[in-house]
Amino acid sequence: MLLTLADAAEPTDTLAELHSDAQAIYWLARCPLTGTMQLWQWRADSSEPPHCLVNDAVGSRVNQYGGGSYTPLLGDVIWVRQHDQAIMHTDDQGVSHCWQKRPQTAYGGLCADPKRQRILAVEEDVHGQRLVAITGSNRQILTEGADFYGAPILSDDGNYLAWVRWSLPHMPWQRSQIYLAQMTPSGQLTETQHWDFGAALSQPQFGPRNALICMSDHTGWWQPWQVNLTTPRCLSDDPVDHISTPWQLGERQHAWRDHRQIYCQLHQGAAHLYRRTGEQKATLLTEPGRVASIALAEHGDYAIVQSATSGAQLIRFAEEHSHHRLVGRPLTLTTTPAQWLEAPVGNAGETVQGFFYPALADDSAPLIVRVHGGPTAATYPIYDPLVAYWQQQGFHVLDINPRGSGNFGRHYRECLAGQWGISDTDDVTALVDAACTRFPIDSARCFIRGQSAGGFTALNALAATSLFAAATSLYGVTDALTLAAKTHRFESGYLSWLIGNDSLLTQRSPAYQLTRCKRPLRALFIQGGQDTVVVPEQTHAMARHIEHYGGQAHTLLFANERHGIRHPTARQTMLDRELRFYQHF
C-alpha cells in the first residue's frame, strides 16, 4: 500500500500521558483534525469502546514543553486547557467548568490528592515556579524558592509527597534532587528531606509501604533506586538507561504496585518492557521500540508503546503473556525495518549510533539524514510514516543519535558538554561515511534535515563539509548567542553548558559558520510564527545570510504554529514542500 502525503504527515506521538483510577484508564490522543491533544477514557472491563472525554485542547505550557496536563480525581478529571492554561474540572457526566485561571500563568505535572479533594501542580509565571494545591475555591502554595519543580507524586495513603527540583544553570538531566515531605491532614508539608547524588534524579514513584523509588544516573545509567532507606538501594543494576531524557513533566516509564513492577530498559536505543512479579521476570513486548507511558491499576497493567510494525498503541497486559490492544492497530503495509549502524568517533572506544532505513525501489538511492532535537532527545527504531513515505519515494533514510543523545547513558550525553557545534558535526560526517561504505547510496544526493537543535547541527554540517547537497532546518537554531539572550527560562543556562561563553556561542553558530564557507549553499527553512524557543527572526536572518553569499534559501512560515508544526494541514504543506525540494536535485 502506498502512503499518501496525509499519511506521511501523521506524527508518531499520537498517544501520551496514561493515568488510571479504580474504574478506568485515561490518556491523551492527538486530534486528526487539529493536531491538538484530547482526553480519552476507557472504563475497565467494559464492552463499550473508548470515548473522548474532553474535546477541547488539553496541554501544559510549563517549561514550554509541558507534560502532566491532567489527572483523574474521585471519578472526575482535572485538566489544563491549552490555550489559556486554565485549570478545568470535568465531572462524570462530561460537564466542564473552570476551577482556576490566573493571568500569564501555566500549570503542569498535575497530581491528584483525593484525600483532600484537590490537585497538586507545578505553577509557573514570570516570577518563577512553585508547587501548589488547588481546589475549586482555593489555591495554596506548598513549597517555593527553587528555580524549577517537577514530577510531584503523592503516596497512596496521601501522607507523603515527593517531587524533583533543580536550579539554573542545570537542566533536569544534569543535576537535580528528589524531595520527600510528610503531608499533614490539612495539606501542609512538614518533615522535609532530600537526596542529592551529584547527578540527575527523576520520575519518583511510590511503591509498597511508601517505598520511594526514583531513577538516578549517578552510577552512569538511569537505574531505579529506593532512596528512603538508611542506605539507598539499587533495584536494577543492569548497565542501561531505564528511562529517557526528562524533557516533560509527569513522565512515567516505571511503576511499582503491590508485588509487581513494570519498567523498561533501553538497549541500542530501543526500549524493552518488563514486568517483575516476585522473582519472576517477563518480557511484555514482542519487539522493542519506545515506551511513552505506564500505568498500573487493580484492573490491569497498561502502557503506551510504539514499535517497528505499528504506530502508537495503548496496550493492556494480562496476568500471563497475553495482551489486549485498546487503541492503535498493526500496520497494513510492508516496511523495511531499521538496521543498526555504528561508527567510531572521538576518543578511543567512543562511537556514534543510528538507524538506517533502505529505500524500497532503487538500490542506489539518495539519502536523507535526520537529526533529532534537544540535542539530548533521541530517535528510536519505530514506525514513522514519514520515513516509510520517503522510502516509497526512493530515498534511503538515516536517523542519527549523535553524542549527547539520551538513552545511551550519562557519559554519552556528557560527551556534548562544551562540544556542541563540533562533536555533533563530526558524528554526522562519520555515520554518513559509514553508511555510504556499507549501503548503495548516491553520494551526490545526500541531504540533511534537523528540527530545533537538530537544525543547528544540520546547517553546520552543510557548511562544514561538501557531503550534503542541501539541508532542511525545521525551526532550527541558527544563532546561539541570540538564542541565549531570547530563549525561555527553562533553557536559559543550557547553551553555556553545550557551548561556552559568548565568543564560542557566536563561533559555533550556523550564522557564523556559513560566512566562512566559500561554496553557495542551498537550504529550506520551516518556521512557526509564534515560536518562543527559536524565534522567527533567527530563521529569516539565516535565509538572508545564505542568499547574500550566493546560495539559495527557501523559507516556509506558518503564522499560527509554535515550536513544532502540529496542524495536519500545515504538516502536509511542509512535507510536500520538503519532498519537492529534495527532488529538485
Would residue 444 count as lying in a domain? yes
Q: Look up residue 489 and give its DSSP letter.
A: G
β 106-113/118-125 pair status: antiparallel
Q: Sign of torsion, CA 146 486 577 341?
A: negative
Helix residue ranges, H only, 342-442: 385-392, 410-414, 423-438
Whether 36 maps to a domain, the answer reads no
The DSSP output letter for 94 is: S
Would you give the distance in Å from CA 123 to the centre of its chain? 21
Grid cell of 70 as nine digits:
491532567
Give the pLDDT of residue 526. 96
pLDDT tens-digit profile of 407-446?
Answer: 999 999 999 999 999 999 999 999 999 999 999 999 999 9
Residue from 68, 151, 73 nearest 106 by CA: 68
pTM over 0.85: yes
Q: Which grid cell is 350?
A: 567512543
- Percent of the chain scored above 70 by pLDDT? 99
How would residue 100 be classed by pLDDT, with cut points 50, 70 and 90?
A: very high
Confidence of residue 347 (pLDDT cuts 50, 70, 90): confident
How many CA within 13 A on the CB side of residue 237?
4
Q: What pLDDT, in 10s, does the model give residues 286-311?
A: 889 999 999 999 899 999 999 998 88
Is 520 part of any domain?
yes
pLDDT band at 258 (very low <50, low <70, confident <90, very high): confident
CB atoms within 10 A of CB 276: 16
On the question of a cis peptide bond just before residue 375, with omega within 30 degrees of 0, the verdict is yes
User: Which tens digits make up the pLDDT trace of 8-40?
Assistant: 998 888 999 999 999 999 999 999 989 899 999
Query: What ranges make up the beta strands (E) of 177-288?
Result: 177-183, 189-195, 201-206, 212-216, 223-226, 233-234, 254-257, 260-267, 270-277, 280-283
Largest CA distance in the chain: 70
**Domain interval for residue 494:** 346-583
All 3 cell numbers of residue 558?
506558518
Of 324 and 132, the one with more pLDDT: 132
CA gap 324, 260 in Å, rounded: 19
What pLDDT shows up at residue 437? 95
Mean pLDDT of the chain: 93
- DSSP conformation letters of 307-362: ETTEEEEEEEE-SSS-EEEEE--B-SS--PPPEEEEEE-SSTT-EEEEEEE--SS-
- CATH assignment at residue 541: 3.40.50.1820
What is residue 250's predicted lDDT score, i.e. its pLDDT? 86
Percent of the chain's residues with pLDDT above 90: 78
Peptide bond into 169 cis (omega under 30): yes
Task: Give the model's pLDDT for residue 410.
Answer: 96
C-alpha cell at 485: 539572550
Q: What does the pLDDT look like over 487-519, one tens digit per residue? A: 889 998 999 999 999 999 999 999 888 878 878
Contact 575, 9 (CB under 8 A): yes
- pLDDT of 321 reads 64
> Contact at 8 Å (CB) between 379 and 355?
yes
Question: How many structural domains does the chain have?
Answer: 1
453 lies in a domain? yes
Among positive and negative, which fits the CA dihedral 99, 102, 108, 114?
negative
**93 has pLDDT over 70:** yes
Of 35, 34, 43, which Cα lies nearest the Cα of 14? 35
User: Is there a domain that residue 121 lies in?
Assistant: no
178 in Cβ contact with 160 (< 8 Å): no
Residue 485 pLDDT:
85
320 confidence band (pLDDT: 50, 70, 90):
low
Q: Which residue has the higher pLDDT, 575 or 94?
A: 575
**281 inside domain:** no
Q: Beta strand pairing status for 365-371 and 396-401? A: parallel
Please check whether residue 32 lies inside any domain of the structure.
Answer: no
Q: Residue 364: inside a domain, yes or no? A: yes
Is the model more confident about 154 or about 309? 154
